[in-house]
Structure 1
């Protein structure tokens, strides 16, 4: 009977942890969605939760400045890594966890999307938005170039991209194509 209790307790702990993470992700997603409403809707078309071949893109923002792909990360602790590294390190409560470099996760999708829209990949920008509770100890050039930022800096990171590269007509066309899948 004691063994059964242990399994039940472990099950409850694991289950409550999963529920906590799910709730946290939902709250973070709503928070970012609310933040993105600050973007001028005549210049930026925000698309949420785009599903493509086993990959869910958190946010796609289509604008005259290119197509911005945003990955939302709900980590807490210290995040360490560079653009080149295959894996990053997440340090939380003196424990180190290896995680896949989030900048690499969407690259195949960006290439597929570029091919589908008949655009060069240089017209795509990628931003990793990390929870405000995380400490960013990533390569400083990633922060300076607005490739990695906290949730609260996401709109500023997007609006830092100022070189027009797409026509308004193409922006509308691409936004419609991406909405339809």
Structure 2
């Protein structure tokens, strides 16, 4: 009996350490925080998948449509040091001596905003407020001007926007349009994941062939502050760096 209990405990610990499970726990924590907003002024949509104007789909963790604007929130549940700059393609996660890279979440969230702009193109002058929210497990050491915050600062960051830009009826209509476009079935979610993997494979193939995946020019060897690296020959018009 004791061996069965140990086996169950091992499985539970293994599952809880899964990045996917940790991510879901982090998103649930944000959902709970957003639930404290005044529902007469804010309407929350979680885990929204909508089509992109360029084809494919994009998944948005949280959208808060309010009389103050539309908050587009990307949540990250990483731990360790998170380093990077506003315009870097990739940021870096450092845990002791282990380093991993992550796609710049500011860029990621910019794509979400563009998809929403295309979906809501019949509304003029909508105010979008993109926010990247990291859990307190991370130690942010990023150099940015965009809103990159800890999840503990999320409500304060949202509430500091107090200029009314639309009425609650407009808020409800926008929520209805986003909800109608939300692709909720599992096959669509799987297709979204396949699209991401396919795009990453295409990008890697171009880099291995010495082609800049951003603009199509050649990649060349360059010398930088931290040593040699491969960058686009079209610099400074294209600032792509192969990490």
Q: Is the 8 A contact 1:114 1:121 kept in 2?
A: no
Matched, 1:136 2:140: yes
Deviation at 1:157, TM superposition (A): 1.1
Relative contact order higher in (CA < 8 Å, ≥ 6 apart): 1
Q: Which runs of 4+ in 1 moved over 6 A?
A: none
Shift of 1:120: 5.8
Q: Which runs of 5+ in 1 are unaligned?
A: 1-15
Q: Is the 8 A contact 1:111 1:121 kept in 2?
A: no
- Given the alignment of the two structures, is residue 123 of structure 1 paired with residue 127 of structure 2, yes or no? yes
Query: 1:106 is paired with a residue of what secondary structure?
Result: helix
Structure 2 partner of 1:165 = 165
Farther off after superposition, 91-100 or 64-73: 91-100
CA distance in 1, matches of 2:112, 2:133: 18
TM-score (norm 2): 0.61
Q: CA deviation at 1:116?
A: 2.1
1:82 Cα deviation (Å)?
A: 2.1
Helix, strand or coil at the partner of 1:69: strand
Asked if structure 2 preserves the Cα contact closer than 8 Å seen for 1:73 and 1:131, the reply is yes
TM-score, with length taken from structure 1: 0.81
1:109 maps to 2:107: no
Q: Which range is displaced more, 38-47 or 155-164?
A: 155-164
Q: Which has the larger radius of gyration?
A: 2
More divergent stretch after superposition (45-54 vs 107-116): 107-116
Q: Distance in 1 between matches of 2:80 and 2:109?
A: 23
Partner of 1:49: 47
Equivalences, count: 164
- How big is the alpha-carbon RMSD for the aligned residues of Structure 1 and Structure 2? 2.3
Partner of 2:18: helix, strand, or coil? helix
Deviation at 1:44, TM superposition (A): 0.6
Counterpart in the other structure of 1:10: none
Q: Would the aligned equivalents of 1:129 and 1:149 in 2 still touch at CA under 8 Å?
A: yes
Q: Is the 8 A contact 2:73 2:109 kept in 1?
A: no
Give the corresponding residue for 1:93.
Answer: 96
Alpha-carbon offset, residue 96 of structure 1: 2.2
**Unaligned runs of at least 5 residues, structure 2:** 1-13, 52-56, 182-243
SS in 2 for 1:172: helix
